[in-house]
Amino acid sequence: MNVLAIGAHPDDIELGCGGALLRHVAVGDKVTMLVMTTGERGPQDSVSRVLEQENAAARIGAELIWGGFPDGAIPHSRETVTFIDSVIDAVGAQVLYTHGQHDTHQDHVATALCSLSAARRLNRVLCYQSPSATAFNPVVYVDVEETIKGKLDALACHRSQVERCELVDLEAVEAGARFWGHQARMRYAEAFEVPRFVWDITGGEAAVRRVESSAVAADERADRQRLGVIDGDQNGAPRPVPVYLVGGRRP
């Protein structure tokens, strides 16, 4: 499966869906990151951000495409949509990750809106959360328990931001993943708003993982009972298992 993730600035993609991209890579999907600007107006020179982004993409195992748009002034225009169109075609994207559109940063909003226009023929489009989001109501979650460390490692490549931008806070990123994981009945998750997502209901991998999760939960429950720890609710109901799984199988 060919996956395209779009971000306005270096580090946006890693913040929003780095864990999911690592899972795509792990199952053999081809992942491409399109970064619209070099973030040259941030608290550092653009050269460092280019190198940081290249290192982060390499750590994820993704190819990297630069958009070449001016930081702070990505136009919401036909030209931007046409450019993203061309990238979708070039990489044969089947799944698209992009910004959510409710955000204080004009580049994030423009990227979100232009991406959605360009993705008009795709049937799997997921929008991730940024620290500057003003509203975010996810309905799809990706289990990133196995990739949260890799996501933090990729983010750490953006050293200029980790050290100088209070919005890039690795501790907060991990806490956020834990929060969304709790919402989705798993340990760590990334969350997505979904303009459009076709669910293959025959999903064998999802079914297998769910059985495995149930088996693990049963083993853990037995251990806890041996140790005298009360599990589940007061009626003895088992803990819920993950139900939202994306990226674990190929179409």
List contacts with Zn ion (CB under 5 A).
Answer: 8-9, 12
C-alpha distance from residue 131 to each of 99, 150, 178, 222 (Å): 11, 19, 15, 40
152 membership: H or E segment, kind and range: helix 148-156
CB of 52 to Zn ion, least distance (A): 13
Task: Return the number of the residue (12 or 29) whose C-beta is nearest Zn ion.
Answer: 12
CB of 111 to Zn ion, least distance (A): 8
CB of 228 to Zn ion, least distance (A): 49
CB of 202 to Zn ion, least distance (A): 37
Task: Return the number of the residue (67 or 181) whose C-beta is nearest Zn ion.
Answer: 67
Task: Return the number of the residue (8 or 20) whose C-beta is nearest Zn ion.
Answer: 8
Q: Are strands 140-143 and 189-197 parallel, antiparallel or unpaired?
A: antiparallel
Cα–Cα dist 7/176, whole Å: 19
126 membership: H or E segment, kind and range: strand 124-128
User: Comparing C-alpha atoms, which of 39, 109, 52, 41 is closest to residue 75?
Assistant: 109
Q: How many residues does the chain have?
A: 251
CB of 162 to Zn ion, least distance (A): 14
Task: Return the number of the residue (114 or 245) whose C-beta is nearest Zn ion.
Answer: 114
Q: Nearest-CB residue to Zn ion?
A: 9
**Other C-beta atoms lying within 10 Å of the C-beta of residue 225:** 11
**Other C-beta atoms lying within 10 Å of the C-beta of residue 251:** 10
Cα–Cα dist 108/142, whole Å: 22
Task: Return the number of the residue (72 or 203) whose C-beta is nearest Zn ion.
Answer: 72
CB of 87 to Zn ion, least distance (A): 18
Task: Return the number of the residue (9 or 59) whose C-beta is nearest Zn ion.
Answer: 9
